[in-house]
Amino acid sequence: MTALRVGATSFKLRRRPLVMVAVALVLLAVVLVVDIMIGDFPLTASQVVDTLLGGGTRRDQFVVMELRMPRALTGLLVGGALGLSGAIFQAIVRNPLASPDILGVTWGAGAGAVSVITFAGSLGVVTGGAASIGLPLAGLAGGLVAGLLVYALAWRQGIEGFRMVLVGIGITAVAGNFTHYLLTVGDVQDAGRAMVWITGSLNGRGWEHVVPVALALVVLVPVALIGGHVLGALQFGDETSRGLGVRVNLARSLLIVVAIVLASVATAAAGPIAFVALATPQIALRLAGTAQPPLFGSVVVGGVLVMLSDLVARTVYRLELPVGVVTAVLGAPYLMYLLVRSRREARV
């Protein structure tokens, strides 16, 4: 094991996770460029790079900076936020099933956001610009309520992974039904808009969607990486962790709030894109060869995953599909695999 030591600071350097992050970052850049190339006005790779560096014609500038870049960036950032959120949850709960989708956070955020979409139209309370600010906030509120409710209800002198997953499934059902109730009572047009949003879509995303997620990531990625050191000592049972001098409940609560905020903000921007937060940390973990989901690795892999899925969603079919359809098609078999595997382990 090599180490990087400068003065009083020191870090472990492991080759495989570093190589994995480097490769994923290159892949991320490639997918970003390809994503921007493809569309009704096809561009070449050099045109895209040129335009991004400030060159290109005015038409190219418009297509890249106004139409495609915000969508691609929303996908990238949402994927990163979901990946990180899932990684934190899975490390804390010590269960690969734990993720904001399963634990009700995503659907809580969904219910919050759909409230804004439907009430904004039919009641005229929130309109236009207010709705675009209100949506992330309502999503955040919904996600926090659902997430903290799961944490509180599953609490019994500590956290046990399986109980949290079960409570989460219950909260998911409640939030999902509330959302469907809103769709039923809401205006038809609003309900239609909300329906597309619920599937998880990057269609028509502009800079106003990029900004909240970008802000959340700028603040919370460093927080998570600093907290990640404690995460390493939290991966054993509570007693061992306390023995190592970790204030278990405090550390875990703070990290869970970070994970909930990340998932909620991401959901408010693009809808509940299914399975990304569930699968990303496990993919990153296998690629990096670590015992715990790597945090930064999960950010990058999540970004690649959502952008690639959106690329597929935009191109494979005559119609443009919502990205959530693609991630669900890929993710559902993976969830089944996890369930089968955990049952087998329980039997041994």
254 binds another protein (CB under 8 A): no
Chosen residue from 207, 215, 239, 332 binding another protein by CB under 8 A:
239
Residues 291-310 that bind another protein (CB under 8 A): 291-292
Q: Classify residue 6 by its DSSP letter.
A: E
Stretch touching another protein by CB under 8 A, among 127-135, 162-170, 210-218, 237-245: 237-245
- Rank residues 137 and 225 by Cβ distance to another protein and give the closer one: 225
> Which residues lie across from 4 on neighbouring strands?
11
Residue 193 within binding range of another protein, rule CB under 8 A: no
Q: Is 339 in the site for another protein (CB under 8 A)?
A: no
Look up residue 14 and give its amino acid. Answer: R
| Residue with smaller CB distance to another protein, 51 or 298 | 298
- What amino acid occupies position 344? R
Residues recorded for the chain: 348
Structure tokens at 209: 């969607």
Is 16 among the residues that bind another protein (CB under 8 A)?
no
Contact between 163 and another protein by CB under 8 A: the answer reads no
Q: Does residue 240 belong to the site contacting another protein (CB under 8 A)?
A: yes
Residue closer to another protein by CB (options 90, 201) is: 90
* Beta-bridge mates of residue 9: 6
At its nearest, how many Å lie between another protein and the CB of residue 230?
A: 8
Which is nearer to another protein, 134 or 228 (by Cβ)? 228
| Minimum distance of another protein from residue 292's CB (angstroms) | 6
Q: Does 320 bind another protein (CB under 8 A)?
A: no
Residues 217-236 that bind another protein (CB under 8 A): 225-230, 232-233, 235-236
Helix (H) or strand (E) holding 113: helix 105-122
User: What is the C-alpha to C-alpha distance for residues 133 and 127, in angstroms, rounded to an integer?
Assistant: 10
Based on the shown chain and the rule CB under 8 A, indicate whether residue 124 belongs to the binding site for another protein: no
Interface with another protein, residue 15, by CB under 8 A: no
Contact flags string 67-106 toward another protein, x per CB under 8 A: ---------------------------x------------
CB atoms within 10 A of CB 193: 17
- Contact flag: residue 333 with another protein (CB under 8 A): no
Nearest to 149 by CA among 107, 97, 181: 107
Of 52 and 225, which has the nearer Cβ to another protein?
A: 225
Task: Pull the structure tokens for residue 187.
Answer: 């205006």
CA 245 to chain centre: 31
Task: Kindly state the helix (H) or strand (E) to which residue 4 belongs, with its residue range.
Answer: strand 2-6
Q: How far apart are CA 111 and CA 221, in angstroms?
A: 25
Following CA atoms 279, 88, 105, 240 in sequence, which dihedral angle do they give, to the nearest 10 degrees?
A: 120
Among 61, 199, 290, 342, binds another protein (CB under 8 A): 290
Q: Please state, as a whole number, how many other Cβ atoms lie within 10 Å of the Cβ of residue 54.
A: 7
Q: Structure tokens of 105? A: 């956070």
> Is the Cβ of residue 94 or residue 163 nearer to another protein in the bound state?
94
Main-chain dihedrals φ then ψ at residue 159, nearest 5 degrees: -115, 130
Separation CA 191–CA 269 (nearest Å): 17
136/247 Cα distance (integer angstroms): 32
Size of the site for another protein (CB under 8 A): 32
Residue placing its CB nearer to another protein in the complex, 161 or 170:
161
243 lies in the binding site for another protein (CB under 8 A): yes
The position carrying tokens 């359809």 is 325
Contact set with another protein (CB under 8 A): 1, 3, 5, 8-12, 94, 225-230, 232-233, 235-237, 239-240, 242-247, 285, 290-292
